[in-house]
Structures are given as structure tokens and as C-alpha cells.
């Protein structure tokens, strides 16, 4: 019952399922069909089957524990009542037109809230794009293309379905999947503080990315962030657009400073943009927590290395002096390299570049290893040296890649498999290192 049916259903009913392409109930079926267990398209006027599943007349005829409600707002209270009577434990309500839409909508939302409490149904939404959990083949959303999202280790919890969808596809475009996307919408009884503990306990989720416009459950949310051992990154949105936000997810008007202050105190990283939200989550999901904030920067090209060093110094990140031992080793490898301190600059890619990273990575003064190198086909990236290094040390390694797209793909994927977080512009690599420094 309840949350467990939302996160780990055994069977799914799609209420309002349709054979007509472009209809919500058809788009939802196109995603739900990926589920390994029973899927029931529910529609009293449905004939035959849709995506190979036979229509049923009513949710009462099913053993579904998760229901996807593809009906307009006014029909939702009755549908939810039927779900309750049929023993459904969780429901996703896609429709808008509830608390965000004025007093009639507020009343409708109160009705479904009442029904949900009466039957112990966990309702995701209303006014949501739904949720997906690729590890479980659960794609309970109307968003076309969501059935092709791969499994990853970053979970996205978004107040706005549109933000959740945007984030999911952004990860996808860059070659990453997601551990799950949860669009909370109007949060009738499933709010941030309900979802965060479940994800914290989920072995597939290694970082939690939050998009928040505002919640009345702010204290409980802060408490769950504080208690989570899984890293949490948060983007607070709607700081300047109060009226627009109210019309969106019926979020309460709250001060941004409070979120920033209290979330940070609770151990969360505050992100300023979609890219920062995902990059911070990716690096925290991929890398061990560093023991300290000291960055060792190794670059094969001075110019981008200087840009990264600038970025980090502006954020008060420290580049410690390297030990005598490391410097001696670097002297053996590089006979007069361009810049012989931290940052270490090798001038250009070279066969020994992996050894240079290794020397800096093993330096006792270095807690976080940050690398920049433009890819060259004849050399490739130093994957073997990184494999040895990441086996031997428990430090985060961030590798900033550059070069032609096609050349990068393979080595980049191999590095990710080794636990090296990769980013593709100087500022993104530097940002990731600054997040690690902040988490230390």
C-alpha cells in the first residue's frame, strides 16, 4: 500500500487508456507497456487492445496497485474513489486544473486529498508529468520518448514536471540515464519529505537532484535532507516570479534565503542552473567524498587550465603545494614542464600524461584530482593509468574532456565505468571539483 506501490508496483492500471495516437491515455500506454508485470488499459468504451494489452472496463476488474489517471480534473475524484475501492495503493494524477487553477480547482484537490487519505493512496500529483524508474521498467508518464530513457544513478525529484522532463532528457542527450524522475506537481500527499527517504534507501540512487519552487513541508523536507546519507543537490526556483509560480504548482511564497541557508546547513549543495543541478548530482553520485577540499589540477593545455584555476580560486578552492616526493617524481617524468607547481601543466598531451595524473593523485596534500586534456586520436585518454589509480586511492577524480565528439565517446565511457566523473567544458569540470570541495 501507499508509497511502496508508487516506488515498486507489481501491476499497473492506465485509467483512460486510448488507442488514439496523441491522446494522453495513448502516450501513457506507450510508456507503461515497458513494464514487466501486468498492465491494464482501463476504459469502459475501449475495444480490443492497445499496445498488445486488452482493455478492461473498470479498475475494479484488476489487481493493479499503481494507477495512472489519464482523465481530466473533474473526473478525477470519482476515478480515485474507484481506485480506493479496488485496493489500488498509489495513483499518478497527470491532469492540471487543481489547486494551481483557482477556487474550483482547490476544491477538486481537497476532494482527492480526502479520498487519498481515506483509502491510504499515495497520490503523485496532480498536475505532474509522472515518474519513471528505468531500473524497474516503470515509465508512468505521458512524455513521448520516456520509454527509451536508460538507467543511471542520479534521481531527479522535480516540483515541476516540465523541469523533471527537461532534466531527464538533458542527462539522456549527454549519454547518461537516470535512477528515477519524480514529478511532484501539486503534492496532494506525496511531497519532498515523502520521496527523499525512499530514494535515500534505494541502492540504485547515488545522488538526489531536487527542483523546488516551494513547499509547505519545508521543515520536514530539511529534516529528511539532514538525515539522508545520499548526497542531495537542490535548485530553488521561482525566486522572482511569485505570481507565475503560484499559477504553476500552487507553491507557497517563501524566501529564497531560507532554502539556501537551511538546505546548506542540512548538507545539501545549492545549484544555480539546470546544468549545475545535474553536474553536481553526477559528480557526487560517481565519486567518493573527498577527505579535504584541496584540489590537484593537471592540465595538458595551459589556457583552459588557467580558466579552471581562475574559476576555483574565485570560489576559494585551494591548490596545495605538492610534496617533495611528488615533485621529484614529476621531475623524472617531465624534464622541465611548462608550469611545475599545482596546477601542473604538461604543455600538451603526451604519452606520460597518465603518469603525471598518477603522481598528483597519490600526493598526500591532494584530496581531489581535476584533469583537463584535449583528446588526440594517436594518444587517447590515459584510461589504464586511471584504472590503476582509482583502484589504489579513495579520492575523487574529475576528468574534463575536449575535442571532437566522435573521438571522445569511447574513452569517456570507459572512464565513467572506472568511477571517474567526466565533464565537457572547462567551467563544468571546475564546477564539479568545487562541489566536491564543498562536500568535503
In the complex with a copy of itself, the residue whose CB is nearer, 10 or 172, is: 172
Instruction: Enumerate residues 96-125 that contact a copy of itself by CB under 8 A.
Output: 96, 100
The DSSP H or E segment spanning 310 is helix 302-314
| 64 versus 360: smaller Cβ distance to a copy of itself | 360
Distance between CA 424 and CA 370 in Å, rounded? 13
**Single residue of 1, 60, 201, 247 touching a copy of itself by CB under 8 A:** 247
Part of the chain binding a copy of itself (CB under 8 A), chosen from 35-43, 193-201, 295-303, 410-418:
295-303
Q: Does 404 bind a copy of itself (CB under 8 A)?
A: yes
Q: Figure out which of the listed residues 248, 282, 286, 395 binds a copy of itself, where binding follows CB under 8 A.
A: 248
Closest CA to 210 of 299, 224, 7: 224
What is the distance between the alpha carbons of residues 178 and 157, in angstroms, rounded to a whole number? 11
| 211 contributes a contact to a copy of itself by CB under 8 A | yes
CA 144/CA 244 separation, integer angstroms? 26
Of 84 and 238, the one with the shorter C-beta distance to a copy of itself is 238
- Chosen residue from 266, 427, 438, 440 binding a copy of itself by CB under 8 A: 427
For a copy of itself, which is the closer residue by CB, 396 or 426? 426
Strands 138-140 and 131-133, bridge-based pairing: antiparallel
Q: Which is nearer to a copy of itself, 166 or 189 (CB)?
A: 166
Instruction: Give yes or no for residue 314 binding a copy of itself (CB under 8 A).
Output: yes
Q: Is 302 among the residues that bind a copy of itself (CB under 8 A)? A: yes
**Identified binder of a copy of itself from the candidate list 75, 374, 393, 418, rule CB under 8 A:** 374
**DSSP secondary-structure letter at 89?**
-
Task: Determine, following the binding rule CB under 8 A, whether residue 438 of this chain makes contact with a copy of itself.
Answer: no
- Per CB under 8 A, does 205 bind a copy of itself? no
DSSP letter for each residue of 192-225:
HHHHHHHHHH-TT-SEEEEEES--TTHHHHHHHH
By the rule CB under 8 A, 258 interacts with a copy of itself: no
Q: Which residues in the 345-364 window bind a copy of itself by CB under 8 A?
A: 345, 347-348
158 binds a copy of itself (CB under 8 A): yes
Between strands 90-93 and 178-183, the pairing is unpaired
Smallest gap from Cβ 338 to a copy of itself, in A, equals: 6
89 binds a copy of itself (CB under 8 A): no
Nearest residue to 399 via CA among 382, 420, 419, 383: 420
Here's the x/- map for a copy of itself, 259-278, by CB under 8 A: it reads as -------------xxxx---
Q: Is the CB of residue 59 less than 8 Å from the CB of residue 82?
A: yes
339 lines the binding site for a copy of itself (CB under 8 A)? yes
Verify binding: residue 409, a copy of itself, rule CB under 8 A: no
Total binding residues toward a copy of itself, as defined by CB under 8 A: 72
Q: Which residues contact 186 (CB under 8 A, 6 or more apart)?
A: 98, 99, 100, 109, 125, 126, 127, 128, 249, 250
User: Using CB under 8 A, which of 138, 154, 245, 369 touches a copy of itself?
Assistant: 245
Give the residue with the Cβ less far from a copy of itself, 74 or 244. 244
In angstroms, the CA 183 to CA 160 distance is 6
Nearer to a copy of itself, 224 or 400 (CB): 400
Report if residue 165 touches a copy of itself, rule: CB under 8 A. yes
> Could you say whether residue 147 binds a copy of itself (CB under 8 A)?
no
Q: Is 165 exposed, middle or buried (0-12, 13-18, 19+ CB in 10 A)?
A: buried
Q: How far is the CB of 396 from a copy of itself (least distance, A)?
A: 22
Contact between 398 and a copy of itself (CB under 8 A)?
no
- Hey, which residues between 32 and 51 contact a copy of itself (CB under 8 A)? none
Part in contact with a copy of itself (CB under 8 A); list of ranges 143-151, 187-195, 352-360, 385-393: 143-151
Block residue for cell numbers 571539483: 433
The answer to whether the peptide bond before residue 126 is cis (omega within 30 degrees of 0) is yes
Bridge partner residues of 12 (DSSP): 39, 66
DSSP string for 23-86: SHHHHHHHHHTT-SS-EEEE-TT--SEETTEE-BS-GGGS--SEEEE-S-GGGHHHHHHHHHHT
Amino acid at each position: 500500500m501507499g508509497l511502496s506501490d508508487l516506488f515498486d508496483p507489481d501491476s499497473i492500471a492506465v485509467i483512460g487508456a486510448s488507442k488514439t495516437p496523441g491522446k494522453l491515455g495513448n502516450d501513457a500506454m506507450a510508456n507503461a507497456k515497458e513494464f514487466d508485470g501486468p498492465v491494464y488499459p482501463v476504459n469502459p468504451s475501449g475495444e480490443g487492445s492497445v499496445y498488445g494489452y486488452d482493455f478492461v472496463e473498470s479498475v475494479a476488474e484488476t489487481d493493479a496497485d499503481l494507477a495512472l489517471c489519464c482523465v481530466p480534473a473533474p473526473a478525477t475524484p470519482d476515478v480515485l474513489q474507484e481506485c480506493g475501492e479496488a485496493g489500488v495503493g498509489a495513483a499518478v494524477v497527470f491532469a492540471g486544473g487543481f489547486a494551481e487553477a483557482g477556487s474550483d480547482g482547490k476544491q477538486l484537490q481537497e476532494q482527492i486529498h480526502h479520498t487519498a487519505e481515506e483509502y491510504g493512496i499515495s497520490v503523485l500529483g496532480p498536475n505532474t508529468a509522472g515518474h519513471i524508474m528505468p531500473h524497474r521498467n516503470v515509465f508512468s508518464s505521458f512524455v513521448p520518448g520516456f520509454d527509451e530513457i536508460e538507467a543511471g544513478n542520479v534521481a531527479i525529484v522535480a516540483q515541476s514536471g516540465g523541469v523533471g522532463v527537461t532534466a531527464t532528457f538533458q542527462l539522456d542527450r549527454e549519454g547518461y540515464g537516470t535512477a528515477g524522475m519524480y514529478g511532484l506537481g501539486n503534492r496532494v500527499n506525496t511531497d519532498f519529505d515523502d520521496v527523499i527517504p525512499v530514494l535515500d534507501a534505494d541502492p540504485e540512487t547515488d545522488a538526489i537532484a531536487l527542483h523546488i519552487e516551494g513547499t509547505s513541508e519545508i521543515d520536514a523536507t530539511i529534516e529528511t535532507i539532514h538525515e539522508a546519507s545520499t548526497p542531495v543537490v537542490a535548485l530553488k526556483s521561482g525566486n522572482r516570479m511569485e505570481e507565475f509560480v503560484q499559477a504553476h504548482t500552487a507553491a507557497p511564497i517563501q524566501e529564497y534565503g531560507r532554502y539556501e541557508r537551511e538546505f546548506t546547513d542540512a548538507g545539501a549543495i545549492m545549484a544555480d542552473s539546470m546544468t549545475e543541478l545535474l553536474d553536481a548530482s553526477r559528480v557526487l553520485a560517481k565519486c567518493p567524498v573527498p577527505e579535504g577540499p584541496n584540489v590537484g589540477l593537471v592540465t595538458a593545455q595551459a589556457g583552459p587550465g588557467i580558466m579552471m584555476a581562475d574559476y576555483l580560486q574565485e570560489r576559494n578552492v585551494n591548490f596545495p603545494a605538492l610534496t617533495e616526493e611528488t615533485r621529484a617524481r614529476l621531475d623524472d617524468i617531465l624534464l622541465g614542464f611548462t608550469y611545475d607547481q599545482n596546477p601542473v601543466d604538461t604543455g600538451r598531451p603526451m604519452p606520460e600524461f597518465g603518469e603525471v595524473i598518477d603522481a598528483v593523485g597519490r600526493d598526500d596534500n591532494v584530496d581531489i584530482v581535476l584533469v583537463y586534456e584535449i583528446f588526440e586520436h594517436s594518444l587517447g585518454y590515459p584510461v589504464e593509468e586511471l584504472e590503476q589509480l582509482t583502484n589504489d586511492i579513495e579520492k575523487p577524480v574529475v576528468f574534463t574532456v575536449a575535442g571532437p565528439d566522435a573521438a571522445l565517446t569511447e574513452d569517456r565511457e570507459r572512464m565513467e565505468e572506472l568511477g571517474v566523473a567526466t565533464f565537457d567544458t572547462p567551467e563544468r569540470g571546475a564546477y564539479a571539483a568545487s562541489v566536491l570541495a564543498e562536500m568535503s
